[in-house]
Amino acid sequence: MSTSNFATLRAVVIAQQDVAFLNAPLRRRRSRLRKLGVASVVVVVVFLVAQVVFGIATRMRPPPALDGRRSASGIAPALQARGPRSMIGENWISKERGIWEIHLAGDPYSMGLAHARLANPVLLEQEDFMFSEFEKYVPSSLARRLIRLGVMWRYRHLGDSILARAQAELAGLADGMIDRYGDFLPAYERVIFYHSLHDITQGLEGSPMLGCTAMAASGSATPNGHLIIGRNFDFEGPEIFDREKAVLFFRPEGQLPFVSIAWAGMAGVVTGINSERIYVSVNAARSDDKGRSGMPIELLLRQVMEEAHSIADVVRLVRSTPVMVPDFYLVGDGKTGEAVVLERTPRRLEVRRLDAQGTLALSNHALSPSFSGDAENDRLKRYLTSGARYRRAVELLQKQRGNIDPRRMLEMLRDKRGVGGEALGLGNRNALDAIIATHSVVVDATAMMLWVGEGPHALGRYRAFDIAAELQGGTRSPPVDLPADPIADSDELRNHRLAMAELKLAERLLKQKDLSHALEEAERAVALDERSPEAHKLLGDILQERHESAAARSEYQRFLELNPPHLHEVETVRGILTGL
């Protein structure tokens, strides 16, 4: 090879080596990019597969036998509006008597479908409110998604405990709803969770369920020996459930007809009485006994209404059905005049009966000896208001023995005094009537008569319903309503409501450290409602933040004088006073 050719070849080899050297990083980068791309695809695939697996694991589905009916639900009978009533076949809804009446009959799926279609304006307002509140308290969409996933996983077996006929009715409700929130959770699953909120939220420290009171009187305690029952459902939830309360008449195919007092969209029962004159209502409770799975209580009581002919039937159903949380039920039989309290937890059931004088009271704590060592039950009794309300209910029943008719029962439900007749400020949670009831009812279970407060709370007129005529047909003399509370149009009530609005504003300003304006609003609240312990405590808190110790001490001492309802606040204030 010539020298020139050798030089040329050498130059080519060197050039190739230079190009290879220069291209090496590019190849490595391309290799890394390919690996990163493959990894990204794998991650996406794994994520999608995980979503599918999670969806399969947590998805709740109605019975497969409904598939054909669900696909044909769009051609169901048309809704007809006739004056104040809207009708679908023999199902109808109206507010002619100041309270929503919903009348439903037929097979479970058809009843659920008609229920939703008739009540859609109210259902949509309820859902809009609940989702707006969710977004207000959990503004992060990521946090809301994580909460949703956590709840779905925790309660993934919830649907398994629900009877097939109840699943069918809930599927009808879901199919009939105007569905604006399907991107968050399918309608059927939302409906199941709505019927399980009592069980899901009851264990929360700030549960709004722990304020109900119920009483029963029978035999010699009443003028005519009838079984008279009164019940305040003190659910401190959204105002819409009080404003839009409903009396629902169910005539389910093949089951006992019954009436339920709740709200539109509620297929379960929290207060009800059936055609066999079996009454049942639920009061929330707390116990050391913990459960993880079971039938939602509202659907268990729906089964009770459909099947129970006697108190023994109720006890059998409750004993044999697993439950998630502790609850206590007042059960009455208008045929025999008997009444009992069932103290039910996930692990035990105790039965408490009418006393020798024919009366029975229930708040939110258990009284049976087996609960004597139950720390949660004891804490609820002492730290919340259950103990005070129970003692006051017993006092009233003893005082009125022999004279307890529906009107006298209503007077007791509206009692706003404390134990021993102590005067309390309006809204004090130690009173039987703390002006928070979502619904309040009086029942003559013997005569099959029902009175439901039209609201707000227990203040308005109590509308009368002839249960026998509504459920079984026939006619009797028109029932007479019970009058509104005398304080309903009083300056005292107006001032109390204004004071509560001022308190809310003062609390918000205190959180924002705007102490001067917070002080003004708290002083207004105290001036409007001087007997409000909450107003004096908040004013004391603001004065303490302003380092006005003498004035704060005076407000805290006044707070302690006013029978404050929650022991933990009493202990907090006493601790503050020792340091002032």
**Residue 538 is which amino acid?**
L
CA 429/CA 455 separation, integer angstroms: 18
Residue 401 DSSP symbol: T
Domain spans of the chain, in order of start = 201-489, 493-579
What CATH code would you report for 493-579? 1.25.40.10
**Residue 282 is which amino acid?**
V
Band (208; pLDDT cuts 50, 70, 90): low
Q: How far is CA 465 from CA 111, 445, 456, 475, 477, in A?
A: 22, 12, 19, 12, 11
State mean pLDDT over 93-114.
Answer: 95
What CATH code would you report for 201-489? 3.60.60.10
The answer to whether 345 and 328 are in contact (CB under 8 A) is no
Single pTM value for the model = 0.88
Tokens of 121: 């304006």
Q: What is the pLDDT of residue 48?
A: 43
Q: Residue 83, by phi and psi: left (phi above 0), alpha (psi -120 to 50) or beta?
A: left
CA 475/CA 459 separation, integer angstroms: 29
Q: Residue 294, by phi and psi: left (phi above 0), alpha (psi -120 to 50) or beta?
A: left
Burial of 451 (0-12, 13-18, 19+ CB in 10 A): buried
Residue 79 DSSP symbol: P
Band (63; pLDDT cuts 50, 70, 90): confident
Band (72; pLDDT cuts 50, 70, 90): low
Q: What is the pLDDT of residue 391?
A: 98
Same fold, 201-489 and 493-579: no
Residue 482 DSSP symbol: B
Q: What is the pLDDT of residue 333?
A: 98
CA 393/CA 580 separation, integer angstroms: 38
State mean pLDDT over 485-489.
Answer: 96
Span 74-86, pLDDT tens digits: 667 889 999 999 9
Instruction: Mean pLDDT check: name the lowest of 31-45, 101-115, 381-395.
Output: 31-45
State mean pLDDT over 460-486.
Answer: 91
pLDDT at 56 over 70: no
The answer to whether 233 and 241 are in contact (CB under 8 A) is no
pLDDT at 13 over 70: no
The answer to whether 341 and 330 are in contact (CB under 8 A) is yes
Residue whose entry in the numeric block shows the structure tokens 């809704």: 79
Would you list the DSSP string of 145-162?
HHHHHHHHHHTTTGGGGS
pLDDT at 70 over 90: no
Band (37; pLDDT cuts 50, 70, 90): low
CA 325/CA 547 separation, integer angstroms: 45
Band (40; pLDDT cuts 50, 70, 90): low
Residue 65 DSSP symbol: G
The answer to whether 532 and 517 are in contact (CB under 8 A) is no
